[in-house]
Amino acid sequence: MSRYKLTVEYDGARYVGWQRQDNGPSIQQALEEAIHGFSGETVLVQGAGRTDSGVHALAQVAHVDIEGPFRPDTVRDAINFHIKPAPISVLQAEEVRDGFNARFDARERAYVYRIFNRRVPPALERGRCWWVIAALDVHAMNEAAQVLIGKHDFTSFRAVKCQAKSPVKTLDVLQVTQDGPLIEVRVRARSFLHHQVRNLVGALKLVGEGKWSKAQLENALAACDRTAGGPTAPAGGLFLTEVVYNDRHGTQSEPDADA
Neighbouring residues of 84: CB distance < 8 A, sequence distance ≥ 6: none
Asked if 172 and 151 touch (Cβ cutoff 8 Å), the reply is: no
| Contact in structure between 173 and 208 (CB atoms under 8 Å) | no
User: What positions carry a catalytic annotation?
Assistant: 52
Instruction: Find the angle CA(168)-CA(161)-CA(10) to the nearest 5 degrees.
Output: 90
User: 236: closest CA among 198, 202, 207, 203?
Assistant: 198
Contact 202, 232 (CB under 8 A): yes
Q: What is the rounded CA–CA span in Å between residue 32 and residue 6?
A: 12
